[in-house]
Structure formats: C-alpha cells, structure tokens
Amino acid sequence: MSAPLKRPLVGLTMGDVAGIGPEVIARGWADPRLHALARPLVIGDPAILARAVALVGGSASTEVQTVSAPEEADPSPRNIPCLVVAAKLGDLSPVAPGIIDARAGRAAYEFLTTAARLALGGRIDAITTLPLNKQALHQSGVSHPGHTEILAEYCGVADHAMMLYLETNASVAAQPPAPSGRRGTGLGIVHVTLHVALKRIFELVTTEAILSKIRLADRAMRPLTGGSPPRIAVASLNPHAGEDGLFGAEEQEIIRPAVDLGARELFDVAGPFPNDTLFHHALAGAYDAVVAMYHDQGHIALKTVGFDRAVNVTLGLPIVRTSVAHGTAFDIAWKGLADASSLIAAVRVAARIVAAKSR
C-alpha cells in the first residue's frame, strides 16, 4: 500500500481587507474540512485576521500566529499562522469596511505577489486567493484588472486563462452517464476573453485565441479527470450558433475552424454549440469543459447553479492558483454574514491539482 500523500501547504491570500476575505478565512478555519484537505497558511495582516476571528465568534483558544516564513507555520484548528507582508504597507486598521480604499488595494496586491513568489520558489504548494476590489486596486496604482492578469505577468506567461470550475454534486452524479460511458467529476469553463468590454469581444475572439483555450482546457482538466482526456465543448457567439450564418458568420469563419484544428491535435473537442442547450447538457455531465467566448457567458451559467461551490482556477501558470468565485461583497463586509463554502471548495480543488501533479 502506498503512503498517503502529505497535505499541501496552501497560502490563503487575504484579499481586500475592506471586504469579506478576512471573515471568510476566519469562518473557514473553524471548518474541519479545511484542515483535512490542506495545511493552510494565511498571507496577509495578522491584526486584521484577529479582528475577523473575533467577529465570527472564534474559539477563545484560537490564536493568530505571526510568522515571517512559511516554514514557521504550524496550522491547526486552534492556531492560524499568518505570514506578515511588507511593513511598508503600514497600519491597515483605519481601512473602513465596505469602502473602496487604495490602501486595501495595494495590500491585496502585495499579499498576492508575496504568495506568488513563495509558490514559484517551491516554499508553498499552492495559492488560494480571497477577493480583491478592482477599483481599489486601480486607485493604488496597479493597472491590472484582477488576480489572473497580475499572476500572469508576475510568472512571466503570455498564454493564460481563467477557468471557472464546479465540482459534481449529488444530483448530477445520480444522472445516467454520458454516451461515452463516463461520468463527469465536475465542469470547467475556460474563457476566450475575460475582463474586457463587450464591444471588444468581436475583435478579440479569433481562431488562434479559441484554439489556445482548447489546449489550456485539456491541460487543466486532466488532473481533475484522473488523467482521462477531457471532453471539451466550444460555445457559440451568436444566437442559435449563428443559424448557418443568418445571425452572424463568426461560428463558420472563426469558431468552427478552431474546433477542427483542435480535433486534428487529437483533443476530444466539439462545437460550436448553441448556448441555450450547451450549458444544460454540460452541467448534466456530458462534457468536462466548455470554452466560452466571454466572461458572462460562462459565469452566469455556472454561478446560477453553484454560486457557493464554484472555484476560479488560473490556467497556464507554473504554479497552482485557485480562488473563491465570489467578490468582496462590500454590502455585507464585516457584518458576520460571509459564508466559507467557496473557500473550502477552492482549497479542495487546489489540493486535487497538487496531488495529481505529484503523482
């Protein structure tokens, strides 16, 4: 019998301290599943974290342990190691809950890049990020729109994408298997375009961009399908997949050629399919991944059925990064209302990917 895999050391970046990130970490820390999945290490501000623990009614015996290196971390349900990030951030306690603040934006950036540096150096096994606020990030002088773009630049990669992933729930698992005989373990949605205005989508959706995301989807899903070639469906751009050109020629001139090229590279890929039926079948287990043309096309479908369980995964990086799928939720920040379900799901997916890579 082989020895059990060691639980990965996963860095939890605190995100924007004006949002629900610190509270989600504090609430998730009390969940036994978190510690069964990984050895979590918080990367952020210890004083803010201590406030969040008090807010959620953490045990009187739960302590925040300030550490200066991941090797010092000794996580347990009663001990929360928090890696102190650059002192130049100063005191974050004046940051008001639920308010856009450049100090919180800069801190979120520093938490993230610190985690990336540690992951690239092999000192932590994965990163799971809590949400940042894009406006606060911008006000702090960071031009990138979000986590994905920051990490791509920091890691020096050009070919990257964000995948929204939802693990199979009991209702899907109970359905008959797909015609291939396989049951899906979850559904990943890879986006050809992401944080851009809708009017720019038509210039950014190209055959090469779609083919690139087909390749990324195949590579990203293999650790989550046990190594089996993932079944990939490609979404359409126009209503009814263009209706043979009646509602637009993009399907015939741009998307289908990408699918054909992907098939020639021996990927299990098909499409483009009309979106009003594609996501119904995909969520029922017919496919392992969908290549969506733009942000809301994929996000709305997946978050409607699994908002609290959805996970973001950054593809194309040399490190493992997952994230909760919700935002900073300024409207409920620091009110004791945040839920940690997405954090647990994100750490679970990170642990699965790390385990698959180590086999």
The DSSP line for 84-126 is EP-GGG---TTPPTTS--HHHHHHHHHHHHHHHHHHHTTSSSE
What does the pLDDT read at residue 176? 43
Q: What is the pTM of this model?
A: 0.86
List C-alpha distances in Å: 242 to 15, 63, 191, 255.
40, 58, 19, 11
What does the pLDDT read at residue 22? 97
Cα gap 52→19, rounded to integer Å: 11
The first and second tokens of residue 299, run together, are 């996000």
Report DSSP state, residue 239. G
174 Cβ neighbours under 8 A, 6+ residues apart: none
What does the pLDDT read at residue 195? 84
Residues of the chain with pLDDT under 50: 1-4, 170-180
Taking only the tens place, the pLDDT of each residue in 83-111 is: 998 666 788 999 999 999 999 999 999 99
Taking only the tens place, the pLDDT of each residue in 150-196 is: 999 999 998 888 899 998 753 344 344 444 455 557 999 999 998 88
Cα gap 93→104, rounded to integer Å: 10
> Tokens 């797909």 belong to which residue?
178
Residues pairing with 186 in the sheet: 167
Which value, to the nearest 10 degrees, does the dihedral of the CA atoms of residues 243, 247, 250, 253 take?
Answer: 60
Burial of 84 (0-12, 13-18, 19+ CB in 10 A): middle
112 Cβ neighbours under 8 A, 6+ residues apart: 13, 127, 129, 132, 147, 150, 151
